[in-house]
Amino acid sequence: MMVGMAPASSPRAREDAASGSGVSGLLTAVASGDRAAFERLYDETAPRVHGLVLRVLADPAQAEEVTQEVFLEIWRTAPRFEAARGSAFGWLLTIAHRRAVDRVRSSAAARTRDVTYERQASAGPYDSTAETVTALLDAEQVRGALARLTDHQREAVEMAYFGGRTHTEIAETLGIPLGTAKSRIRDGLRRLRDHIGGER
């Protein structure tokens, strides 16, 4: 197993590494129609984008289609990305998440939705390349923050984000009042926010 990832030394170092010709720079080049930059952007971000889409859809064939849609949308809408407003990577993930959830909620996906959550909770194909493991190491901090959520909060947040379910569906699935579902989601998200913030 790969364990060679050096810990990020400081917030400043991380920030430096994230700037320059990173995702944001590539996106700016893509906005001007630079196909080579788009290819590099794809190379650098496709595993993360596809990983998120696959996690939501739990269906490799549909996930490929959606990943394709995501990158074509990125090409089309890159000029609208505003670096001052947020991270380029967050922007890509937002597009990917929204498209994946749209697909889950489309009628075709709805038929298999009940098994989808089960499948992603238990088993599903995923990639084993080195960056997976490296990313896992870096995800420790996030995992730490997630561990601060109660089981109920985490369950609700994950059903919403990765399961693509609405709070109403979550309430029905878990057999809890709607208000309870809403507050589990909100309290869980707040806690995640606060603990990530606190661990910076």
Site for other proteins in 55-94 (CB under 8 A): 55-56, 64, 67-68, 71-73, 75-82, 84-91, 93-94
Instruction: Show contacts with other proteins in window 109-138 (CB under 8 A).
Output: 121-136, 138
Residue 91 and residue 98 in contact, taking contact as beta carbons nearer than 8 Å: no
User: Whose Cβ is closer to other proteins: residue 111's or residue 143's?
Assistant: 143
Q: Which residue has the tokens 């309290």?
A: 187
User: Whose Cβ is closer to other proteins: residue 75's or residue 111's?
Assistant: 75
Instruction: Show contacts with other proteins in window 155-194 (CB under 8 A).
Output: 157, 160-162, 164-168, 170, 179, 182-183, 185-190, 192-193
Q: How far is the CB of 112 from other proteins (least distance, A)?
A: 16
User: Whose Cβ is closer to other proteins: residue 94's or residue 111's?
Assistant: 94
Contacts of 197 (CB under 8 A, 6+ apart): none
Residue 200 and residue 11 in contact, taking contact as beta carbons nearer than 8 Å: yes
Instruction: Show contacts with other proteins in window 4-23 (CB under 8 A).
Output: 5, 8, 11, 13-15, 17-18, 22-23
As a whole number of angstroms, the longest Cα–Cα distance in the chain is 51
Q: Measuring CA to CA, which residue among 74, 65, 69, 64 is closest to residue 127?
A: 64
Q: How far is the CB of 18 from other proteins (least distance, A)?
A: 4
Contacts of 129 (CB under 8 A, 6+ apart): 47
Q: How far is the CB of 111 from other proteins (least distance, A)?
A: 18
Is residue 42 involved in binding other proteins (CB under 8 A)? yes
| Cα–Cα distance, 38 to 73 (Å, whole number) | 12
| Cα–Cα distance, 79 to 63 (Å, whole number) | 25
User: Whose Cβ is closer to other proteins: residue 39's or residue 111's?
Assistant: 39
Q: How far is the CB of 82 from other proteins (least distance, A)?
A: 8
Q: How far is the CB of 150 from other proteins (least distance, A)?
A: 14
Q: CA distances (Å), 52 to each of 93, 132, 150, 185, in order? A: 8, 12, 23, 19
